């Protein structure tokens, strides 16, 4: 089951009044003094090349430099909780909402989505392609004794993977010989899965941008449970007085604007769209 994305649009976001280029004009003096925006980010947005594609447009329009620290979502959230960010851009909605509820962030906005996919050898020794749904695919994988490689790093992908095993009613951990944890990023985990001739869960964008796929392919995709929503949050300046509020507001406003959303939609690898904007829908 490897169908293309057919997921429904996410919620409409509330009108973001600060999010206009008028905010840039009103805050021009502050922006001149605080000429950069620090973003704590998930790795997929960097590894996919998305930032390289969209940031020059924002930086030229706003006169602001955007510095991105790309780590697993869990680490990105912890960094932001320590005040080491102006903006948080990750993909673990429950953790993002908790970040805001505890006063570390101002407001969370849906930004874009794609999906997670299970990759594996083209020969598909676990028989995932024949599975009727994701739970059946995971059960086939768990019963196959073929290596599954997990990030094991509290990233958004790792959080999603653990949730999927739980929903499937399968208790898996590193005590099982077929279940391997890298404690590393997505690229390293994909590489390990390829070297072990095994499977892994990855976001589609990172997989499409990954160069050395060898004989590995998408073995299973398209289940609604594999939806992958990204959110963006301004870090709360009332908690951290050094936060570049004007810069954070301007960057988020631009990402949610028609221009930012159009650029996200137009980014492709190998002719395939990697991210689907849904901030305004």
pLDDT digits (tens, 9 = 90+) for 5-30: 544 444 444 444 344 444 444 444 44
Q: Is 7 a member of any domain? A: no
* 191 and 150 share one domain: yes
Q: Where in the sequence is the domain holding 154, given as residue range(s)?
A: 116-226
pTM: 0.84
Residues in a beta bridge with 184 = none
Report pLDDT for 280.
54
Report pLDDT for 34.
60
Report pLDDT for 85.
98
* 155 and 83 share one domain: no
* 36 and 161 share one domain: no
pLDDT per residue as tens digits for the range 85-125: 999 999 999 999 999 999 999 999 999 999 999 999 999 99
Q: What is the mean pLDDT of residues 31-55?
A: 87
pLDDT per residue as tens digits for the range 217-258: 999 999 999 999 999 999 999 999 999 999 999 999 999 999
- 66 has pLDDT over 70: yes
Q: Is 16 a member of any domain? A: no
pLDDT band for position 1 (cuts 50, 70, 90): low
Q: How far is CA 249 from CA 27, 119, 122, 158, in A?
A: 10, 37, 45, 29
* 124 and 45 share one domain: no
* 213 and 235 share one domain: no
Q: What is the mean pLDDT of residues 272-278?
A: 95
Residues in Cβ contact with 136 at an 8 Å cutoff, skipping those fewer than 6 apart: none
* 218 and 132 share one domain: yes
Last residue of a domain, one of 226, 243, 263: 226
Q: How far is CA 233 from CA 41, 76, 111, 248, in A?
A: 11, 12, 10, 9
* 67 and 122 share one domain: no
Q: Is 129 a member of any domain? A: yes
* 132 and 218 share one domain: yes
Please write down the HEC assignment for all residues of the chain: CECCCCCCCCCCCCCCCCCCHHHHHHCHHHHHHCCEEEEEECHHHHHCCHHHHHHHHHHHHHCCEEEEEECCHHHHHHHHHCCCCCEEEECCHHHHHHHHHCCCEEEEEEEEEEEEEEEEECCCCCCHHHCCCHHHHHHHHHCCCCCEEECCCCCHHHHHHHHHHHHCCCCCCCCCCCEEECCCCHHHHHHHHHHCCCEEEEEHHHHHHCCCCCCEEEEEECCHHHEEEEEEEEECCCCCCCCCHHHHHHHHHHHHCHHHHHHHHHCEECCEECCEECCCC
Q: What is the mean pLDDT of the chain?
A: 89
Residues in Cβ contact with 35 at an 8 Å cutoff, skipping those fewer than 6 apart: 63, 64, 65, 247
Q: Is 186 a member of any domain? A: yes
Buried b / exposed e across 102-129, counting CB within 10 Å, b at 16+? Answer: eebbbebbbbbbbbbbbbbbeebbbbbb
Domain of residue 222, CATH code: 3.40.190.10
Q: What is the mean pLDDT of residues 56-73?
A: 95
* 247 and 109 share one domain: yes
Q: Is 126 a member of any domain? A: yes
Q: Is 11 a member of any domain? A: no
* 248 and 174 share one domain: no
- 32 has pLDDT over 50: no
- 151 has pLDDT over 80: yes
* 39 and 128 share one domain: no
Report pLDDT for 5.
54
pLDDT per residue as tens digits for the range 162-210: 999 999 999 999 899 999 999 998 999 999 999 999 999 999 999 998 9
Q: Is 1 a member of any domain? A: no
Last residue of a domain, one of 226, 241, 269: 226
pLDDT band for position 270 (cuts 50, 70, 90): confident
pLDDT band for position 35 (cuts 50, 70, 90): confident
* 246 and 259 share one domain: yes
Q: Is 146 exposed, middle or buried (0-12, 13-18, 19+ CB in 10 A)?
A: buried
- 264 has pLDDT over 90: yes
| Count of the separate structural domains present in the chain | 2
Q: Is 10 a member of any domain? A: no
């Amino acid at each position: 089951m490897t169908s293309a994305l057919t997921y429904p649009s996410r919620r409409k976001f509330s009108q973001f009044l600060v999010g206009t280029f008028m905010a840039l004009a009103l805050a021009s003096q502050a922006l001149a003094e605080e000429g950069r925006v620090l973003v704590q980010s998930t790795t997929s947005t960097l590894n996919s090349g998305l930032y390289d594609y969209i940031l020059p447009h924002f930086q030229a329009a706003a006169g602001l430099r955007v510095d991105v620290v790309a780590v697993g979502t869990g680490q990105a959230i912890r960094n932001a909780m320590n005040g080491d960010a102006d903006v948080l851009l990750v993909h673990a909605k429950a953790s993002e909402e908790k970040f805001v509820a505890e006063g570390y962030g101002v407001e969370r906005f849906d930004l874009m989505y794609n999906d997670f996919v299970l990759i594996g050898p083209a020969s598909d020794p676990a028989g995932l392609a024949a599975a009727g749904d994701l739970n059946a695919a995971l059960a086939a994988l768990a019963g196959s004794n073929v290596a599954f490689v997990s990030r094991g790093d509290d990233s958004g992908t790792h959080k999603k993977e653990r949730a999927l095993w739980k929903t499937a009613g399968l208790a898996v951990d590193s005590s099982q010989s077929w279940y391997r944890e890298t404690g590393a990023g997505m690229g390293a985990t994909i590489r390990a899965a390829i070297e072990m001739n095994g499977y892994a869960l990855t976001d589609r964008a990172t997989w499409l941008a990954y160069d050395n796929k060898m004989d590995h392919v998408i073995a299973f995709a398209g289940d609604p449970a594999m939806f992958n929503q990204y959110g963006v949050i301004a870090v709360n300046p009332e908690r951290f007085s050094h936060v570049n509020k004007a810069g954070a507001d301007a960057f988020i406003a631009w990402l949610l604007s028609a221009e930012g959303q159009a650029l996200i939609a137009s980014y492709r690898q190998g002719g395939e769209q990697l991210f689907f904007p849904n901030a305004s829908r």
